[in-house]
Amino acid sequence: MKIFRSIFTVGLSILIFSCLGFFNKNDNEVKTEFIPTKKSKVAYFASGCFWCVEAIFESVKGVEEAVSGYAGGNTLNPTYKKIGTGKTGHAETVAVYYNPKKVSFETLVKVFFGSHNPTTINGQHPDYGTQYRSIAFYNNDKEKQIIEKTIYRLNKDIYGGKIATEVKKFKKFYKAEEYHQNFEKRNPNQGYVKAVSIPRLNRFKKKFPGLLKHQNH
């Protein structure tokens, strides 16, 4: 009986604490398609489950929209099911559309490194696998320099040279299935969201109150 209870407990924990284990394909909410303006820029970051990452960036002043998707690999037209195998090369990635007059790329890099553990290889607890690895993408040399300078400083001052984040040239972004978009906001009572996503968002808000759109939220 004790063995059975142990197996049941472990199984239940896996179901509750896995980004891969929860989604809702039957969500009928109609969402207005975001259309970037001519002034909008876009940055790409991967740091674990994209439900969490999307919610964090959308809370930042100057960010117009954050879209969940896949990037970093070579597989064409990846799907949630395919990247879940860890064999596509892609990571769960968020495209961050922002107004550069209100928030800088440097600040977004600060948000990225300040909202996850960049020393963890292939994962952010409780999600592990190459699809959950940490990647800071760059579109040009200036962005690459900003990322690399940030890593150098953080390695020196905080992480002792242990940062595992990849610095990668952006190639292509594949938008994830619609039921993943704004997942945390639409499913506040879902198990993983309550146990992992919301606490991670709240930790970020507590750490960087001056960057929030609604500081009293």
Distance, CA of 177 to CA of 69 (rounded, Å): 8
Is 36 buried (19+), middle (13-18) or exposed (0-12) by CB count in 10 A? middle
Evaluate the omega torsion of the peptide bond into residue 126 and state whether it is cis, within 30 degrees of 0: yes
- What is the Cα 210 distance to its own chain's centre? 20
The closest alpha carbon to 129, from 137, 118, 120, 138, belongs to 120
Contact 61, 110 (CB under 8 A): no
Catalytic hit among 46, 49, 96, 108 = 49
Distance, CA of 53 to CA of 42 (rounded, Å): 15
Strand arrangement of the beta sheet that strand 166-169 belongs to: 166-169, 134-138, 41-47, 91-98, 63-71, 174-175
Contact 197, 55 (CB under 8 A): yes
Is residue 52 annotated as part of the catalytic site, yes or no?
no
Distance, CA of 94 to CA of 44 (rounded, Å): 6
Helix (H, G, I), strand (E, B) or coil at 182: coil
Active site residues per annotation: 49
